[in-house]
Structure 1
Amino acid sequence: MNIKDDVQSSEVVAGTHSVNNGNAKVLFDFGATRSFISKSFVGNLNCEIEMLVEPLSIIVANQEQVFVKSICPRCKVEISGYSFLASLIPFRLGEFDVILGMNWLAELGAQIDYKKKKVILKSPQGKKVVFKG
């Protein structure tokens, strides 16, 4: 599935957002347990990278197990004028630069309306933030 297919799908909400002051193609994905950043995109940003104490096991869509050894712990994601921090795992991604997964979405009490392609989050200040994809 490519971005054009993703954006037209009723089960996907995506858009372009600022991540560490660079424009990123972002997918909001309740199906992903973790949040990721494209390995190639990390190189374009001033993104701090930390080594994990123990490698993290990731099971990808084809059920292949991949181990990751690093994380970008404090990436700034801007959505509708609000800044959020996200810990993103550098990973080989397809056409998206960032995938915001369940760990990040749950932390912000996110709701996704796939039919209206809308994400509702709670900002760090407690305000309701709405993004329409």
Structure 2
Amino acid sequence: MDSGASHSFISARFASCLDVTPECMSYTLHVSTPTGTSMYTDSIYKSCEMSMAGISLYADLTVLPIRDFDVILGMDWLSAHRARMDCYNKTVYFCLPDGMTIQFKGDKGFLTAILSFIRASRYLEKGGEGYLAYVIDRRKEKGLSVMTQNSM
């Protein structure tokens, strides 16, 4: 999830694994990345189903030639699902139309890793030499729970 992204995206590599053909948009979308590069696309997958705690949520995913992420859920998706972010606790609450709230608790070190990546990219663009690795400890539990509106 990226509250800094206006749209939701899917990597071209990951999209190639889907058994669905993307639609062609009537325009070409120009996307600026955090590293200062630009990408262009005119392909979109409409109403892609995702499951969170056994609940289906849908997203329109614009195809981009990105490598670091399979899917980026942006403000279009976050606002459509009435998301509230608690940045301090790294928790996102989704308020569903039936009154149910889904709580997604994220990886505490993730934002730091993204910022480190951006900092390292800028260093490399200036001619520096470096090696970058991003490691996720899958042994740690990731919180995802479902609550009713009354329990908040």
Q: CA shift at 1:48, angstroms?
A: 3.7
The CA distance in 2 between the partners of 1:48 and 1:106, in whole Å, is 26
Q: Which amino acid aligns with 1:113?
A: D
What's the RMSD between the two structures over aligned residues? 1.6
Name which one, 1 or 2, has greater alpha-carbon Rg: 2
The answer for unaligned runs of 5 or more in structure 1 is 1-27
Among 61, 68, 72, the residue aligned to 1:88: 61
Please state how far the C-alpha of 1:124 moved relative to its aligned partner. Answer: 4.7
Q: What count of residue pairs does the alignment treat as equivalent?
A: 106
Q: Does 1:35 align with 2:19?
A: no
Using the size of structure 2 for normalisation, the TM-score is: 0.63
One-letter code of the match for 1:61?
A: P
The residue that corresponds to 2:35 in the other structure is 62
Q: Is the CA contact (8 Å cut-off) linking 1:108 and 1:121 kept in structure 2?
A: yes
Q: Which structure has greater helix proportion?
A: 2
Identity of aligned residues (%): 34
**Worse-matched range after superposition: 108-117 or 80-89:** 108-117
Gaps of 5+ in 2: 107-152
- 8 Å CA contact 2:81, 2:95 repeated in 1: yes
Higher relative contact order structure (alpha carbons within 8 Å, sequence separation ≥ 6):
1
Larger strand fraction of residues: 1
Please tell me whether the aligned partners of residues 80 and 130 of structure 1 are also in contact (alpha carbons under 8 angstroms): no
